[in-house]
Structure 1
Amino acid sequence: MKDAYEQAGVNIVAGEKVVSALQQKMKLQDSHVLDQIGGFAGCYELDRDQQTRPILVAGSDGVGTKVLLAAQANQVNTIGQDLVAMCVNDLLAQGATPLFFLDYLALAHLDEYQVEQILSGVLAACTDNQIALLGGETAEMPGVYQPQHFDLAGFAVGLVAKQNLLNPHNIQAGDYLIGLPSSGLHSNGFSLVRKILFQDKNYQFTDVIPTIGQSLIDELLRPTKIYSSIMQPLFGERLIAGAAHITGGGVLKNVPRMLPADLLAKIDVTTWPLQPIFELLVQEAQLTIQESYQTFNMGLGMVLAVHPANFGKLAALLDAQHELYYRIGQVESKEDLKEAQVKLVGVIDD
């Protein structure tokens, strides 16, 4: 017989089964995690020699309306990586090594398979990037969410020595700008994506666009790239002066976040290939240059500022990892403080 809470739409037993299965996998994590699974909070033990003058760097983010497409398509196995990436890439942009992560999953009704797929994706992304999944919360809230729909949020903490923090004061006129490619749309701009493709143009999830070469839904749900393994060796050699995670706000809004007020980024958009998904969106909606580069990442997931003397070593380390990168521009002094901090070249004016 159902108890009163289950009659109200909350399945406690199902939730406990999912959490118990996940906890068994979480026990395999690194030695910094104290074995207190099932407590009210997770515990992470710092070593005395982890950093000198240690700074904890924290960030929180979500996946946005990309979750609507994942839920509608019933393809939720990669959305966990999106969540981890959105938080962890922000830490990397400050020069921090990610330590641990917590997730928050809220949904109308707990479907064991759906939740297992989502949380297994979170754990896999953490494990692949040597990040401890320290805990989280799964909340059933019938009446707040539609059936089969859910929302995801995450919280990450990283560590960096104070002298190694990436901040605008490190960047100088003449620094090279290096673009690290995105794996696609990542997890931003999906409200516009859904409007363009499914409201205005009536595309279907199963449509295969010849230039893309796979179903549209598979392209849209391609998981966000996590840059931790790429950037850690660069941190170790202190080769980066600044970094910008190209997330909500695109290139135009995120690159200025790493710059001091008296400098600008001159970026040549012909220096990296435009992925077919962006070509499709720009063409179908007739987006302006401003709209495109202020909404989408346009093929760049991270932009690095590098002193010219460090470029050769940085390039060698990226080549050794077989990672693509593009020299996309340079930092310049601003003649007028009111001038925009990103100047796009190689484009036709709108």
Structure 2
Amino acid sequence: MEKDAYIKGRGAQGNVRNRFLEMSHEMRDDFLEYCRLEGEEAESNKTRYLKVFPRTIVNKVDSPDVGMGYSMNPYQGCEHGCIYCYARNSHEYWGYSAGLDFERRILVKENAPKLLEEKIKSKNWKAHTIVLSGNTDCYQPAEQRFFITRECLKVFLKYRHPVGIITKNALVMRDLDILRELAADNLVAVNVSVTSLSEETRRVLEPRTASIKKRLETVRKLSENGIPVNVMIAPIIPSINSHEILPLARAAADNGAVSIGHTIVRLNGAIGQIFSEWIRKAMPDKADKVLHQIEDCHGGSLNDSRYGKRMTGEGKIAEQIHTLFQIAKRKYFSGASYPHLNTSLHESYKDGQLKLF
């Protein structure tokens, strides 16, 4: 792999330094030349799955502007490779880089279903919607191999516990049988992320995600089966997908979504460097324009960590985006709303069966 070659099928174009580690890794030119002469790869671009065994799986979400109270993540790292993903920074806590390591070193929590069952059966637990996943996609490619998300859904169904799902992968349709049963008692809702109607844009922004066609089909099929779907038009990136807000909203409505949501991109932590390096390779002609417009949304910085402002932005460009989004909601989703899930059944099913008295 040449040092400056565009790495197809990945979002990040290299590994950035982990802020928690004293040592850093550098790919030297003389090593790359040696590999070229020997006909060897300098590094493998293959994905590795690493099993980990956490002690807990349900996380309380304290951030006031996230919109969920509890989340759980069967996997850490995400092979989808979305270049803008805020979760990249969390990989540094595991000793990896937020760049390519985030996409190629996937941590697999095989004991997640067992930990979930222990949590929601505990005496002091009161039912609150638990979201799969608040950090990395629970239906990323690893799920095809490990089935952890499906096993967790079985636990939610057994104990009649509400669950939310966030994904951009059509693999969620594999579990339609369980989702239908959950939906019959208003115990599930799904958020499907659709960031563009352009496959060209999708391929460079989110290289290993489901196609736009597949995602919209997923919205339609879930809706036809009585499962409420919210489409997340997120993140909005100025001059990349900001012009698509109205057509995206219309596509969501036409395929049965009950609501839409959005955020404005913020490049927190290591993501500012990762995104900047990526866009100068993937979209060199518009790189400066996009980066300056992102900065315009965050007071001159690529990131804003203030609650209430970090995902909404401020300034003229952010105001234009919000105005367009409000027009889209009035035009295509007037009177529609995302449901509150049922928390009343779980207590009667805590031992795994319905109490009659």
- TM-score bin (small chain): under 0.3
Higher RCO structure (Cα 8 Å, ≥6 apart): 1
Q: TM-score, normalised by structure 2?
A: 0.26
Q: TM-score, normalised by structure 1?
A: 0.26
Choose between structure 1 and 2: higher strand proportion. 1
